[in-house]
Structure 1
Amino acid sequence: MGWGNMLLFISVGAANKTMPDERTRKMWIEIGFQVVNGLLFIMIVGHTPWRIRDLYQFYSEKHRPALLQRHKYTNNLILLQFILWSLIVNSIFQVAVAICMWSMDMHKRPMWAVSIFGGLSLVSGVFAGLAQFILERIAKNKVKMQQQSTSVI
């Protein structure tokens, strides 16, 4: 959170008194972006083996019951497939961002590529997370309704 705040303050000019030189501000923006990218990359790459396992189990009839046991919030295979592919796409785009950030100099790096890959990574992760959240809430409400109906009887 501190790195994000620093990037915001430098970007909007709130840190101009402490960093009057534009070159210094650009250097700190680059350092901040590298740190944030590294943290996101570590988290997403750390989850990638489980995402690949889930996708493999989705397409394997033999292992699908284990997958559905882990993802109890839905039995709808189309929604589960959407979530799993969104997570895989999130990993792919985050790796693309890292490749752009770490393989090119900050002066030669095409910011449009970093922005597109970063945005697509963000959107795919948000779609997957939001779908899981909504489906989990629906599942919890169903369980609560069933408990209430059995307690009334």
Structure 2
Amino acid sequence: MIQSSDHSTSDPETPKTWKQTIVTGLAAFWRFFKTPTGLLITMYGLNVVAWGAMLFFLILKAAPAMNHPDGGDANSSPRKIWIEIDSQILNALFCLTAWGLAPWRFRDLWWLCVWRFGRNTERSTRAIRRLAARNVSWFRLQENDLMDQGEEGVNPALIRRKTFSGESAPPTASWKMDFVVWMMVLNTLFQVGMAFMMWHYNRIERPTWGAGLFIGLGCGVSMFSGVMCWWEGRKIKKIEGPKVVKEEKELAEV
């Protein structure tokens, strides 16, 4: 009797202990770190963490040598001066991503508007396909928006392709694309407000609520967007399994 070859090969061995999981994670991070993008992202993240931690400890008055005169509350105290320096550096770091990514974020917003206000047209279909290709890690198209494998120049994210598990995740609710795109655009706009507060006023005249309001709003919308992408990507990975890299490379060459 001939057995089916569907399960003739066993799944790749997965880590079974916390030690193996850590080693696997470190190896993956090292591969990412060795790339130019990985190096820059790591350096950026370390700067945000370091300057953010310093600001946190300064606010808590954790450096007694800086807490003079008047217990560090005087405007002339080293503590207040370094809080301002720290805040300006963090503001610049946030501007780097919020404004540096602004052209792509507003491009995505344009595609979103074309898709939403141009329903049932070829142009709107192209717009949602472009958005889906950019967000393939967490977003799945509706069945009628997918393309056939036989078409030339097709992005692997837009075709009915095989998955590691043999199953395909269901289409993602369309409102979630609206949510993520708008959250990213709002992050850029809130950073404009943050920069205005930091650069228009000096540290003595600046409203106490201003910087805190905009940094809270900016971080909040970024967090909501990130959680949405992570949650949807997690659901897709549970169904489809790991990405089939070899197959996608072959399709990309078609």
Considering the TM-score relative to the shorter chain, is it more than 0.5?
Answer: yes
Q: State how far apart, in whole Å, the 2-side matches of 1:128 and 1:31 are.
A: 29
* 1:2 pairs with 2:50: yes
**Aligned counterpart in structure 1 of residue 201 of structure 2, from 98, 104, 109:** 104
CA RMSD of aligned residues (A): 1.8
Partner of 1:44 in structure 2? 98
Aligned counterparts, 1:15-30, within 5 A: 15-18=63-66, 20-21=68-69, 22=72, 23-30=77-84
C-alpha deviation, 1:55, in angstroms: 1.1
Q: State how far apart, in whole Å, the 2-side matches of 1:15 and 1:100 are.
A: 27
Partner of 1:121 in structure 2? 218
Q: State how far apart, in whole Å, the 2-side matches of 1:122 and 1:5 are.
A: 16
Structure with more relative contact order (C-alpha pairs < 8 Å, separation 6 or more): 1
Q: State how far apart, in whole Å, the 2-side matches of 1:98 and 1:59 are.
A: 28
TM-score under structure 1 normalisation?
0.87
Partner of 2:33 in structure 1? none
Q: State how far apart, in whole Å, the 1-side matches of 2:220 and 2:50 are.
A: 23
Partner of 1:84 in structure 2? 181
C-alpha deviation, 1:20, in angstroms: 3.3
C-alpha deviation, 1:19, in angstroms: 5.0
* 1:67 pairs with 2:131: yes
The ranges of structure 1 where at least 4 consecutive aligned residues each deviate by more than 3 angstroms after the TM superposition are 18-21
Counterpart amino acid of residue 25 in structure 1: R
Partner of 2:191 in structure 1? 94
* 1:31 pairs with 2:95: no
TM-score under structure 2 normalisation?
0.54
Q: State how far apart, in whole Å, the 2-side matches of 1:17 and 1:7 are.
A: 15
C-alpha deviation, 1:53, in angstroms: 0.8
Partner of 2:61 in structure 1? 13
Paired residues, number: 146
C-alpha deviation, 1:28, in angstroms: 0.5
Q: State how far apart, in whole Å, the 1-side matches of 2:110 and 2:99 are.
A: 17
Q: Comparing both structures, which one devotes a greater share of its residues to helix? A: 1
Greater C-alpha Rg: 2
* Contact 1:10–1:16 (CA under 8 A) maintained in structure 2: no
Deviates more, 1:62-71 or 1:21-30: 62-71
Q: State how far apart, in whole Å, the 1-side matches of 2:179 and 2:52 are.
A: 30
> Structure 2: any 5+ residue segments left out of the alignment?
1-48, 115-123, 142-172, 245-254
Q: State how far apart, in whole Å, the 2-side matches of 1:108 and 1:15 are.
A: 25
Partner of 1:142 in structure 2? 239
* Contact 1:45–1:91 (CA under 8 A) maintained in structure 2: yes
Provide Cα deviations, 1:29-77, integer angstroms capped at 9, x if missing partner. 0000000111111111111111111111122214221111222222322
C-alpha deviation, 1:18, in angstroms: 5.0
Deviates more, 1:73-82 or 1:95-104: 73-82
Q: State how far apart, in whole Å, the 1-side matches of 2:59 and 2:210 are.
A: 20
